[in-house]
Structure 1
Amino acid sequence: MAEVNYKQDMPPKGGYAPIVFQNIPVKKYFNGYTMFAGFAAITSFSFYMYYQNFKRRRLLKIERQDAINALEPILLAERDRSYLKQLRRNVEEEAELMKNVPGWEVGTYYGEPIYKTVPKEKLLDPILEEYYAHTSEKAYDDKANEFLWR
């Protein structure tokens, strides 16, 4: 067997320095009065900033509500106009599709009114499938699944 030369790690001559175990007090930067004054200053500044932001948010809320009130009649009118245009397109498409069928009258089933107790002049809202019958599949899917995305 080969002989291995090694040197064991030993303590330094004279030994290690003594271990410090007494309590060393922390240096105090602030006393109680300055900490209370700092807390009061920061809290006062925070309340002031909150109040300023509260006033600004209140004004923005009033402005936003004014804009909604101004635009709502226009948006409702546009929605109703779009609704009536789609109903008109549905009637025109039905007339175009069934023009070669003898005895077919638009809005009826072979001349029989669909609703016997409802006058012909009264507008009945169609069901979703009937309303979107002559539109793209995407338009129908968007409306049919609209509640899933709210």
Structure 2
Amino acid sequence: QTVTRRFVLVTSGKDPKMSAPAKLQDMPPRGGYQSIPFARVPAKKYFKGWQLIAAYAGFTTVGLSLYYLNCRENHRNEVEMRGARNVIYALLLAERDREYLKQLRRNRDEEAALMKDVKGWEVGTWYGEPVFKTLPKDKLVDPTFEEFYVHSASKDRANRKNVKMWA
């Protein structure tokens, strides 16, 4: 035999010069295997039917009573919050109007400071001529957006202008 053929036989376990180990047949243990349990084994019952129905009725009764009490409390809180919102709404509107009038006053003061050196200039008029001739003097004319924020910082004006986009 050649060396390569011997190498192939040795590595494949078929070398004729080596003795093969005796193969043992797998046999059952002495006395045989245990029998396979295949009989039906019913599940253990922890509660009887009437106990389950009673538990359901008890839990439902307790749950509904707690739900009712919680709903009453929530309703009471909602009424209180609605009342507080209605009360504070008038205050917030008054504060908004107050701040609006303060800004109009700041604008008039700034106009007076800017135009103090211009001859014949009166605040709120165009060289002494009223801008709105047909309106009474005590009538407040709301300024335009740009006119309202004319003396404010440009950042504040830009923030206020973008509020409409986010609302």
TM-score, length basis structure 2: 0.66
Relative to structure 1, the CA distance from residue 99 to residue 47 in structure 2 (aligned partners, 3 Å threshold; closer, same or farther) is same
Shift of 1:3: 1.9
Moved more, 40-49 or 104-113: 104-113
Matched, 1:14 2:31: no
Tell me which residue corresponds to 2:110.
Answer: 93
2:55 maps to amino acid: G
Select between 34-43 and 66-75 the one with higher mean Cα deviation: 66-75
Count of residues in correspondence between the two structures: 146
Instruction: Return the offset for 1:13.
Output: 4.1
TM (norm. structure 1) is 0.72
1:131 CA drift (Å): 1.6
Residue 51 of structure 1 aligns with an amino acid whose one-letter code is Y
1:58 deviation in Å? 1.9
Of 24, 30, 41, the residue aligned with 2:58 is: 41
Residue identity over aligned pairs, in percent, reads 45
Distance 2:72 2:46 in 1: 38
Matches of 2:97 and 2:12 in 1, distance apart? 99
Partner residue, 1:55: 72
Q: Deviations over 1:20-73 (max 9, x none)?
A: 777654333334333322222222222111111111112212322332344333
Q: What is residue 3 of structure 2 aligned with on the other side?
A: none
Of stretches 38-47 and 89-98 in structure 1, the one that deviates more from structure 2 is 38-47
Larger Rg: 2
Matches within 5 A, 1:58-73: 58-73=75-90
Larger relative contact order (Cα-Cα within 8 Å, sequence gap ≥ 6) = 1
Structure 2 CA distance for partners of 1:88 and 1:30, relative to 1, 3 Å: same
Alignment equivalent of 1:118, drawn from 113, 132, 135: 135
- Deviation sequence 1:64-95 (CA, Å, 0-9, x none): 23323443333332222111111100111111
Q: Which residue, out of 156, 160, 164, partners 1:139?
A: 156
Aligned equivalent of 2:11: 3
Structure 1: stretches of 5+ with no match in the other structure = 6-10
SS at match of 2:11: coil
Q: Secondary structure at the match of 1:3?
A: helix
* Structure 2, gaps ≥5 residues long: 1-6, 14-24
